[in-house]
Amino acid sequence: MFARRITYRVHAIQRMFERYIGIDDIEYVLSTGEVIEEYPDDEPYPSRLLLGVRRGRTLHVVVADNAQDNEVIVITAYEPDPEKWDSTFRLRKKQ
């Protein structure tokens, strides 16, 4: 399905387990999701926030891109909080 290797950080696995988000959900968002924020200055790799909908469930997935090793690193995944995001879950609300 993917040309790039997917690596899951321990934090991501813990949060996925707590939030009932499966690997298939993550891979679906990675292949179909929309980049809604980019963090080019993140270290050690630039990262981005993806928005996707899987089985009617809105998900945000944060990944880092290790281009040198052709690797996508999953940092975390969650259902966005409607109190913190607009109705499309694309824009953060002003706090």
Q: Is the dihedral of CA 27, 32, 33, 38 positive or negative?
A: positive
Average pLDDT over residues 64-73: 96
Q: What is the pLDDT of residue 3?
A: 59
Q: What is the pLDDT of residue 95?
A: 74
Q: What is the pTM of this model?
A: 0.93
Domains and CATH numbers, the chain: 5-78 (3.30.2310)
Q: What is the pLDDT of residue 81?
A: 97
Average pLDDT over residues 43-66: 97
How far apart, in whole angstroms, are the C-alpha atoms of residue 16 and residue 94? 27
Half-sphere exposure (CA, 13 Å, Cβ side) for 28? 14
Q: What is the pLDDT of residues 25-43, one digit of tens each?
A: 999 999 999 999 999 999 9
